Amino acid sequence: MLPAKLRKGQLPTKICVTCGRPFEYRKKWRATWDDVKYCGEKCQRNRPAASATAPTN
């Protein structure tokens, strides 16, 4: 869980699944920070295809 008061130098970071770039915590992600995987809407729309697709013969 995140601390109640975050300062700019103490913001947690993650790596975007799509582009591989690091991104920092945003206030709007406070309730769902553990579920955030993408740095923005563009990366979320262009996320990699699921690898669980069945091969065609």
- Segment 16-55, tens digit of pLDDT: 999 999 999 999 999 999 999 999 999 999 887 765 555 5
CA distances from 22 to 17, 42, 49, 52 (A): 10, 15, 21, 26
Q: What pLDDT sits at residue 41? A: 94
Is residue 54 one of the residues assigned to a domain? no
Is residue 17 one of the residues assigned to a domain? yes
Q: What pLDDT sits at residue 12? A: 92
With H, G, I as helix, E, B as strand and everything else as coil, classify residue 28: helix
Is residue 16 one of the residues assigned to a domain? yes
Is residue 32 one of the residues assigned to a domain? yes
Q: Any idea which residue has 């913001």 for tokens?
A: 11
Q: Measure the N-to-C terminal CA separation of the chain; round to a whole number of Å.
A: 47
Put simply, whether the predicted model's pTM sits higher than 0.85 gets the answer no
Is residue 24 one of the residues assigned to a domain? yes
Query: pLDDT-derived band of residue 3, with 50, 70 and 90 as boundaries?
Result: low
Q: What pLDDT sits at residue 2? A: 66
Is residue 53 one of the residues assigned to a domain? no
Domain encompassing residue 23: 11-45
Domain count of the fold of the chain: 1
Is residue 29 one of the residues assigned to a domain? yes
